[in-house]
Amino acid sequence: MPEEKAGKIFYSPEEVAAAGWGLSEEERSEVQKMFDDFNANRNAVLPEPTAELPGRFGGDDLAGTEYEGWTPDGDRS
C-alpha cells in the first residue's frame, strides 16, 4: 500500500517491481557508468586550498578573559 507523506506518494520496492516501474539492467548499467565517470572526474581534480583565518583571529578565543587557560576538560593549564 503506497504511503502519502507531505503530498508525495511513496511505493515500496515490491510495489514498484510489481508495477514494472523499475529500471532495466541496461538502464542500471548506464546510470552506474554515469556515476563512475562523475567520480573519476571529481577525483581527478586537485583539492582547493582551504581558507584560513588570519593569525589575529581564532587561535585562543579565551585569551584576555577570566577563562584564559581554561580547557574543555575543566583543567587549567
Calculate the CA 8 to chain-centre distance. 24
Entry pTM = 0.45
The CA distances from residue 19 to 1, 16, 26, in Å, are: 12, 5, 18
Q: What is the largest CA-CA distance in the chain?
A: 69
Q: Per residue in 20-75, pLDDT tens?
A: 888 889 999 999 999 999 999 999 987 877 777 666 666 667 777 887 777 766 65
Listed as own residue / partner, the contacts of 11-14 with beta carbons closer than 8 Å and 24 or more positions apart are none
Contact (Cβ atoms closer than 8 angstroms) between residue 70 and residue 76: yes
Contact (Cβ atoms closer than 8 angstroms) between residue 67 and residue 75: no
The whole-number pLDDT of residue 31 equals: 97
The whole-number pLDDT of residue 39 equals: 94
